[in-house]
Chains A and B, each alone.
Chain A
């Protein structure tokens, strides 16, 4: 009986612990949702219980976002930036990852590590000189500056990730293709690339989410409202003086976060094995 009691106490503690973590992690997200759909009169009344809807939920904030602000434009900007950066990343990182995986010398390994380490060079160290370079190129205040700069972190990360994928691909398949008359380059294009499509898909997802998450470069290079990507627009443009439009801000944050959260969640394990580089085998 005593054993049963201590066992169920242990179980209770376990699930309380799990509940604590879920609430800790998800509460700000829940708050985003509830704020986004609340009437202003409900939102700014401290005598109401804030945890749920006291008035019926409303789509007012989302409507306002699309009709009265540049929100749709920011969504579009983010999409364009994401697509361009993904294209640049694929064109450079796929061949680089492949070559790094096939280099047998110590030099190749060192090159791979060096490229990956540039991923760790922080934006806050580079933003000053980059802002001068962008000014020289006449790209200041334009979303195209971000298309130029974002590959500086997506290329290193994705080259490293793809290197892992290509390493896992048996080199014998390419050798067989070469024996059958393929050139070295042909073996890469016709054999290695089609076989690593899952890896390339992962890279596409990551490049996209990394561009959506970025904030520092966007803040530094773009101040024109109609050029902002969505994260920057929502975080800085829905504030007039000291007044925060909380309903609209949270609605915008929600719309921007949901796709990123879902995509990232699905690919999280690959992300982790990418950055740890299989430190534990």
Chain B
């Protein structure tokens, strides 16, 4: 047992007195971000709840407490029920379509071929272009007079000029268009998520399964799928949250029309709360998103926890 060296005394620094303890420094460093988020996310969230149980409007900003009356008003409105149903159709329709496209796309892109990088860059375009601008481009594609799809149908002799579809003017077609655009926007995201998951599966695991006699399907569904499930779930959660609460696509494409056929929660909240200035009812409508978001968040937490342990 010999003493090898004595530590040299640290020269005093200006910050030493404040930050000589790790925990104090960490708290100090994380504080600005936490305060910003508390003030501009936490506080508004509480305010939203508060507005929803008051009679607050832009024109009459008095804070009278009315309990759950706003929520009851909303539920009793048949238009709102339609909006709620639309939101679910829009969310699950577009996520399903996006996932199917994503799975096939990933399957194709998994194999190396010349020009794969360029192909990938082109395929991710829908996800990287600002969604508002992409939606405007789609509106032009679905134009009632100059729609290129209709032009093609007529040119190929499939349809007559008299009975071409009015994409954004027919209720079910408008809903289909909104779903297609959102699926179009998210499928590259699904592809990239699938690819990231599959390439992260260690090759030796797959080899071992092959040696043990697992065939193509068994490898796919009993080895690879369970291993990429966490990353897929996280991708899906993102898709669901951002679709369920979306406003841009509906606002720019259909304005909720025709006759409310594509009105979704985000759009209804915007119309009532911002356009009509009825903040109380608008906030109540927006808060209907919260239960869905909470379920999604709980899922996410569980998956992140599983990863960290």
Chain A interface residues toward B at CB < 8 A? 14-15, 17-18, 21-22, 24-26, 28-29, 31-32, 35, 43-44, 46, 49-51, 88, 91-93, 95-96, 98-100, 102-103, 108-109, 111, 113, 115, 117-118, 120-133, 148-149, 151-152, 155-156, 159, 179, 181-186, 188, 209, 212-213, 215-216, 219-220, 231-232, 234-235, 244, 246, 249-250, 253, 256-257, 260-261, 264-265, 268-269, 272-273, 275-281
Residue of A whose beta carbon sits closest to that of B115: A18
Interface string of B5-44 (1 = CB under 8 A from A): 0011011011110011010011101101110110011111
Interface of B is mostly: helix
In the complex, are the beta carbons of B19 and A183 less than 8 A apart? yes
Q: Which of B11, B105, B119, B132 is in CB contact (< 8 Å) with A235?
A: B132
A7 to B: closest C-beta gap in Å: 14
Q: Which among A128, A129, A281 has the greatest number of chain B C-beta atoms within 10 A?
A: A128
B176 at the A interface (CB under 8 A): no
Residues of A within 8 A of B197 (CB): 280
Q: Is B151 an interface residue (CB 8 A)?
A: yes
A129 touches B19 (CB 8 A): no
With A28-B137, A95-B30 already in contact, 19 other A-B pairs whose C-beta atoms are closer than 8 Å: A22-B119, A24-B101, A25-B188, A31-B148, A35-B140, A99-B25, A121-B45, A124-B266, A125-B48, A125-B290, A133-B43, A183-B20, A219-B247, A219-B248, A219-B270, A250-B137, A265-B121, A278-B307, A280-B197
CB–CB B51/A46 < 8 A: no
Q: How far is the CA of A25 from the CA of B109 in the complex (A)?
A: 14
From B140, B187, B201, contact of A250 by CB (8 A): B140
- What residues on A are CB-neighbors of B108 within 8 Å? 14, 17-18, 21
> Taking CB as reference atom, which chain A residue is nearest B283?
A128
Cβ distance A267 to chain B, nearest Cβ, rounded Å: 10
Query: Would B270 and A220 count as touching, CB distance under 8 A?
Result: yes
Q: Give, as a whole number of angstroms, the nearest-CB distance from A251 to chain B.
A: 11
Please measure, in the bound complex, the distance between the C-alpha atom of A123 and the C-alpha atom of B245, giving whole angstroms. Answer: 8
Residues of A within 8 A of B188 (CB): 25
Contact of A108 among B26, B34, B148 (CB under 8 A): B26
- Interface residues in chain B, defined as those with a beta carbon under 8 Å from any beta carbon in chain A: 7-8, 10-11, 13-16, 19-20, 22, 25-27, 29-30, 32-34, 36-37, 40-45, 47-48, 51, 101, 104-105, 108-109, 111, 113, 119, 121-141, 143, 145-146, 148, 151, 155, 184, 187-188, 192-193, 196-197, 200-201, 227-228, 230-231, 234-235, 237-238, 241-242, 244-248, 251-252, 265-266, 269-270, 273-274, 279, 282-283, 286-287, 289-290, 293, 296-297, 300-301, 303-304, 307-308
Max chain B CB contacts within 10 Å: which of A49, A93, A122, A246?
A122
A29–B134 Cα gap in the complex (Å)?
8
Selected A-B contacts with CB under 8 Å, 21 pairs? A14-B108, A17-B108, A25-B122, A28-B134, A29-B125, A46-B146, A91-B32, A117-B300, A120-B296, A122-B293, A124-B247, A125-B293, A126-B45, A182-B13, A185-B13, A209-B128, A220-B270, A234-B132, A246-B143, A249-B140, A280-B197
B60 vs chain A, min Cβ distance (A): 13
Q: Is B132 within 8 A of A215, CB to CB?
A: yes
The smallest C-beta distance from B196 to any residue of chain A, in angstroms, reads 5
A279/B133 in contact, CB under 8 A: no
- With A and B bound together, what is the CA distance between A46 and B147 in angstroms? 9
Q: Name which of B27, B137, B279, B301 has the most chain A CB atoms within 10 A of its CB.
A: B137
B140 with A14: CB separation less than 8 A: no
Asked whether, in the complex, the Cβ of A31 is within 8 Å of the Cβ of B130, the reply is: no
Partner of A26, one of B34, B125, B151: B125
Contact A273 B196, beta carbon cutoff 8 Å: yes
| Separation of A120 and B184 alpha carbons in the complex (Å) | 21
Contacts of B124 in A (CB 8 A): 25, 264-265, 268
Q: Measured between alpha carbons, how far is A28 from B130 in the docked complex, in Å?
A: 13
Q: How far is the CA of A249 from the CA of B139 in the complex (A)?
A: 11
Residues of A within 8 A of B26 (CB): 99, 102-103, 108
